[in-house]
A and B are shown apart, each in its own frame.
Chain A
Amino acid sequence: MKKVFAMLPVAVFAVLVGFFIYRLVLIDHGDTPNLIPSVMIGRSAPAFDLPPLFDGQPHFAAKDLQGKVTLINFFASWCEACRAEHGFLGEVKQAGIRLIGIDYKDDPKDAKAWLARMGDPYDEVVTDADGRTAINFGLYGVPESYLIDKKGVIRFKQTGELTPDVIRSQVVPLARELSR
């Protein structure tokens, strides 16, 4: 009996070590503790109606989400990670997903110059000057991307930049499934 008790701290220690290793492995797979799981998954996209970045183009509103699988990508010309992600957005469009860019709290002049320089992969670009629509989406930094199904329900969220790996292994397969 006594021996069993003596082993108790060792057992507790072993459990703790196991837990920490498990957590480290999760972090290795991209699940970091500062990543906040979105409560918006499975919910309808919030109401919005945003003006276009380029004059003469139409507004984009929540009702326009109906009927087509859409990836909404929040970006800004001042955002460093957006630059890293930008080159891969073409892959999303190539997969047949409608790609809407929302320019988050940006100077339209800067955004236009940025897109002219970096290339414009978006089907439409609209602006969220005061960031209110972004808050309604539950955004807490740029870039963030939301995959929305034909009924306007948010199905997937990428916090931070889209990598080729995330696009190929998650975004494209899910979009294909939702398009059916």
Chain B
Amino acid sequence: MKIRRFFLLFLLGIAVATAFADTARAVLPDEMLSNPVLERRARKISEGLRCLVCQNESIDDSDAALAHDLRILVRKRLLAGDTDAQVKQYIVSRYGNYVLLKPPFDAETLGLWLGPGALLLFGAAAAVFFYRRKDGVAETPRLSGEERARLDALMNGGQGGGENAS
């Protein structure tokens, strides 16, 4: 019981820590747009763009100088009247699809998108196949006539004999 309580506390700790970590973004106050609607759009776009220096962070999270420049560029494009898609396309046309943290669904990424599902299906099919076969092999043989007679005797009064009878 104590262990379980400790574990719950541990989980709670992690939840609180990650909640706070989420607010620690790299966006500097002087980068932000005064228009809250545009700023929200800029944040949303930035979260989906990979920082090319650190490569596993979005430009919204990264402190790298290039990420800073790209954040400013995103905001400049928005102020110039670009749609979200146009801003993304602007960056993609220079850095390729690699900058998108969520890759598009196309011929090149087919395996990436469908691979996990295909593997899961394959695994499920294999599991069904193997368990079916095992069931067949392990099936208990039916009682022979003699066994059945002995069982009936046991059930009807316990004088069927056998080692375990007391």
Residues of chain A at the chain B interface (Cβ within 8 Å): 34, 36-40, 46, 105, 130-132, 135-138, 140-141
Whole-angstrom CA separation of A38 from B55 in the bound complex: 15
Q: Are B53 and A140 in contact (CB under 8 A)?
A: yes
Residues on B with C-beta less than 8 A from A37 are 96, 98
A130 to B72, CA, bound (A): 11
**CB–CB A135/B55 < 8 A:** no
Contact A137 B73 (CB under 8 A): no
Stretch of B6-14, B34-42, B62-70 that contacts chain A:
B62-70
Most buried by A among B65, B69, B70, B94: B94
Tell me, in angstroms, the Cα distance from A176 to B44 when the chains sit together.
46
**B73 touching A39, Cβ below 8 Å:** no
For B52, the chain A residues whose CB sits under 8 A away are 36, 140-141
Q: Which of A38, A130, A136 contacts B96 (CB 8 A)?
A: A38
| B93 at interface, CB cutoff 8 A | yes
Residues of chain B having any CB pair with chain A under 8 Å? 52-53, 55, 65-66, 69-70, 73, 93-96, 98
Taking A34-B55, A140-B52, A141-B53 as contacts, is the C-beta distance between A132 and B94 under 8 angstroms? Answer: no
Residues of B within 8 A of A136 (CB): 94
User: Is there an interface contact between B66 and A39, defined as CB atoms closer than 8 Å?
Assistant: no
Task: Determine whether the beta carbon of A105 is less than 8 Å from that of B94.
Answer: no
Q: Within the assembled complex, what's the spacing in Å between the Cα atoms of A110 and B55?
A: 29
> What are some 17 contacts across the A-B interface (CB < 8 A)?
A34-B55, A36-B52, A38-B96, A39-B93, A39-B95, A39-B96, A105-B65, A130-B69, A132-B69, A135-B73, A135-B94, A138-B94, A138-B95, A138-B96, A140-B66, A141-B53, A141-B66
- CB contacts (< 8 Å) of B69 on chain A: these are 130-132, 135
Measured CA separation A132–B55 after assembly (Å):
20
